[in-house]
Structure 1
Amino acid sequence: MNYRRLLPNICTAMNLVFGMCSILSTIEGHLDWSALFILFALIADGLDGRTARALGVSSEFGKEMDSLCDLGSFGIAPALLAWTLALKSYGTIGIAVTIFFAVCGMWRLTRFNVNASVVHGYFMGLAIPAGGNLVAMSTWLFLSLDIDPLSFGWFYPFAIALTAYLMVSHVHYPDFKGGGEKIYMVSKIFALVVFVGILYLGSAAILPAVFTAVFTTYALFGIVNHTIAVMARAKEG
């Protein structure tokens, strides 16, 4: 047995293990733990690729395994979590948004696999781990602050649907590896304001507020920075 290949595959499998723990926690009504398990899945997801590259054992098998686990942990698990938290109260619209999130997650992963050798320096669309954790961490924050998402009316299903759409959009998100599109100062200032604003509003539950701020800021930052980049190219043209 090649133990060097086994280690990154164990990390990948733990991604799905945590995803299943999230789903089971949701079914049992432990939504806070469900959200945390999605965060744990993100950590495992980050370790598998780094471990494989460090050991020099990256493979197509590992890449396919990673995508399948991601769909469960960051597509299906957060969709079920959002459904249980609030979307079930919106009738047919809630059902549609729940399914839409999972389908967009599948679409995002498929497109990423196909374009992996073509797209460099940025992510085309919001990465599914970020999208799934945005749903999970905001859920954790709502529960910590005893906020009912239903109090926001139709904004909640709209926000979940927007997050899903961002995953399949052509918005360019930085991958923090360098070589991507220019990051504009206006975008940085906007991100800072959003981040600080969420920390301020969620100061009574600072840990979930920090994680929610990270993923919300990243999602919105991509929209603003990409819009500015498109406008800049239009002016140059």
Structure 2
Amino acid sequence: MNYRRLVPNSISSASLIFGILSIFKTIQGDFFYAPVFIVIAVIFDSLDGRAARALGVGGGDFGKEMDSLCDMCSFGVAPAIMIYQFGLQDLGLVGQVIAALFAVGGCLRLARFNCNTGVVHGYFQGMPIPAGACFLAAYVLSGYSFNAYLTAIMTLVIAVIMYSNVKFPDFKGKGNPMYRIPVIIALVIGAAMLFNRPGAWPFVAMFTYTIAGIINHIYRAATGKNN
């Protein structure tokens, strides 16, 4: 038995545990720790691959499958339950379906990512599911309180973007470029939101990241830029 593999798998397990803890906190109506535990799960998720590569045990099918299954719970199911309980209950069954569609979008994103790991390089094809989960978690923590219809639209938009062809930067300096005009527009919008509610900076950061990717995608399509 290769005990070195226990390290990254244990980190993935920790991510799953915090996702489940988030669900429990949502059930208890604790909308501080529910989103906080999702963010902690994201932190652990960012470490398992690094640990595997550092220990020379990366690239295995087992680790990849385990990571995806943990992601589905922590970043698909947990945020879906949280956003329904927090802001979609007034819509009843419709709100439940919309929350479920968030999890479906994340599931499709994970499946496509696993299929395209050898094809897509230098950018994220669609918003990564941890980013989608962070978006909803940051919203719940932000102090903003949108009505159920606006929350539903926001949730659906994130669900669609996760399985879209919108290219988000991977911050490694390669791949899909972010053009100046879309970035400036996104930063102006983000600055206005931050001025209005400085304490909501995590949500503003996620919103700015999201809108920058969308505007950049539209800009590329409108100008005919291919790279």
Task: Report the TM-score when normalising by structure 2.
Answer: 0.94
State which of 195, 201, 206 in structure 2 corresponds to 1:210. 201
Determine the structure 2 residue equivalent to 1:230.
221
Name which of structure 1's ranges 224-233 and 114-123 shifts more when overlaid on structure 2: 224-233
Query: Which SS does the other structure have where 1:86 is aligned?
Result: helix
Measure how far apart 1:5 and its partner are.
1.3
Percent identical among aligned pairs is 42
Whether contact under 8 Å (1:75, 1:102) holds in the other structure is yes
For the residues of structure 1 that align with 2:189 and 2:55, how far apart are their CA atoms?
A: 39
Query: Which SS does the other structure have where 2:168 is aligned?
Result: strand
For 2:186, the aligned partner's letter is A
Deviations 1:58-87 (A, max 9, x none): 121111111000010110001100000121
Determine the structure 2 residue equivalent to 1:63.
64
Whether contact under 8 Å (2:169, 2:177) holds in the other structure is no
Measure how far apart 1:53 and its partner are.
1.0
Structure 1: which 5+ residue stretches go unaligned?
none
For the residues of structure 2 that align with 1:193 and 1:148, how far apart are their CA atoms?
A: 22
State which of 172, 180, 183 in structure 1 corresponds to 2:178. 183
Root mean square deviation of aligned Cα: 1.5
1:221 aligns with 2:212: yes
Deviations 1:177-198 (A, max 9, x none): 2321221111221232233223
Q: Which runs of 4+ in 1 moved over 4 A?
A: none
More helix by share: 1
Determine the structure 2 residue equivalent to 1:133.
134
Query: Which SS does the other structure have where 2:43 is aligned?
Result: helix
Task: Report the TM-score when normalising by structure 1.
Answer: 0.90
Determine the structure 2 residue equivalent to 1:109.
110
Name which of structure 1's ranges 21-30 and 179-188 shifts more when overlaid on structure 2: 179-188
Determine the structure 2 residue equivalent to 1:23.
23
Alignment of 1:41-190 (within 5 A): 41-58=41-58, 59-142=60-143, 147-150=144-147, 154-190=149-185
Q: How many equivalent residue pairs?
A: 225
